Amino acid sequence: MNILHQIVEVKKNEVSELKKKYSKSSFEDSPFYNKNSFGFAKSISKSGQLNLIAEIKKASPSKGVLRINFNHKEIAKTYFDNSTSAVSVLTDEKFFQGSIKHLNDIAHFKKVPLLRKEFIIDEVQIYESKANGADAILLIAEILSANQIKDFTSIANDINLDVLLEIHSVNQLDKIDFSHNKIIGINNRNLETFSVDVNNTFELMKQIPNECIIVSESGITSQLAINKLKDKKVNAVLVGEFFMTSANIESSVKEFQKWCKHES
């Protein structure tokens, strides 16, 4: 069992507890629920640059705590002030030391769309995302059936949430209706070995329709990798550990943003 499936087993219990406390109607009472979302798809597909989705992530299962002096609100402010296209907020508690409260806190002063990075296996988590200020949610194809992907995407879209659908390998492609899911995240991490290879993005892109928005995820830490992604017309990158382990997040974001600009 790889780490993703271990997380799902824990998530099943968490969802069961969540359903005991909340219903769809209770989430609908949230101040955020009926507010218009910021347009995630539009924000991460701007031309003239490789768009940056900067992630807030305290820890990871493979590397443990990434940032000891962790303040989610200060990190978010730094990202906002440095013109990131979107911000990803990891909310899983057990494996990543995140919290749904982090998302809610940041939503009160957001300047760009917020992606809730979570292991979503039930529709109640989608309503919870909207109620806590998300503009988009992550769905992971490997842990969902084709019907779940379709249904969860429809539920999200109905409440004005975009969906970033993540794939790790060619094995998930036959689950996807690309006319329904147009924002595709390609994760470069091998779930068995934890090794990362940006070439995974390029190989999988070949089998995805050109009209889709492509987001490359994991292992993007150098200008060389960024240049390759720009050459292949990737729309956006999702980057977390590079910033979380930086001595100066702001200077790292500024440097990264320079790499992401297309030459005029």
Residue pair 242/219 in contact (Cβ under 8 Å)? The answer is no
Nearest to 185 by CA among 166, 209, 169: 166
Could you say which of 218, 235, 241, 252 is catalytic?
A: 218
Cross-strand bridge partners of residue 187 = 217
Burial of residue 217 (CB within 10 Å: 0-12, 13-18, 19+) is buried
Could you say which of 60, 132, 187, 216 is catalytic?
A: 187
Could you say which of 11, 43, 45, 57 is catalytic?
A: 57
| Phi and psi angles of residue 156, each rounded to the nearest 5 degrees, phi first | -60, -50
C-alpha pair distances (Å), 48 with each of 53, 147, 151, 165, 235: 16, 36, 34, 24, 10
57 is catalytic: yes
142 is catalytic: no
Could you say which of 110, 130, 132, 166 is catalytic?
A: 166
218 is catalytic: yes
93 is catalytic: no
Q: H or E stretch including 166? A: strand 162-167
166 is catalytic: yes
37 is catalytic: no
Could you say which of 55, 118, 128, 241 is catalytic?
A: 55
CA–CA dist 196, 89 (Å, integer)? 21
Could you say which of 60, 130, 175, 217 is catalytic?
A: 217
Active site residues: 55, 57, 117, 166, 187, 217-218
